[in-house]
Amino acid sequence: MMADPCGGFEGNRDESPTFPTLLRDIELAINDLKLVEARLGTPAELAGDMDRARELAHRINNLLTSYRLNSDLRDIGPEI
């Protein structure tokens, strides 16, 4: 992760454009997963819903891991 030339690593972590983007992507993926899960086991279930739910869960896990790693790196600061 590179330091911002104007502000370095100082300030609130929410100032980074990465965090709002990750949070938005996580929220969208969770909402998609909820929609797919609501159909599972009902007559409205589509043929690919199980695979889609699995893919979404995997994506959410990856996004959450990215968020956590980004937070950890941000907390460490420019020492790395």
80 in any annotated domain: no
72-80 long-range contacts, CB within 8 A, separation 24+:
73/1, 74/1, 74/9, 74/13, 74/16, 75/13, 77/9, 78/3, 78/8, 78/9
From the list 62, 72, 79, the residue with the least C-alpha distance to 13 is 72
Residue 63 structural domain: 13-75
5 in any annotated domain: no
| pTM of structure | 0.70
Q: How many domains does the chain have?
A: 1
Strand partners of residue 8: 4
4 in any annotated domain: no
Per residue in 21-72, pLDDT (tens digit) is 999 999 999 999 999 999 999 999 999 999 999 999 999 999 999 999 888 8
18 in any annotated domain: yes
44 in any annotated domain: yes
7 in any annotated domain: no
1 in any annotated domain: no
8 in any annotated domain: no
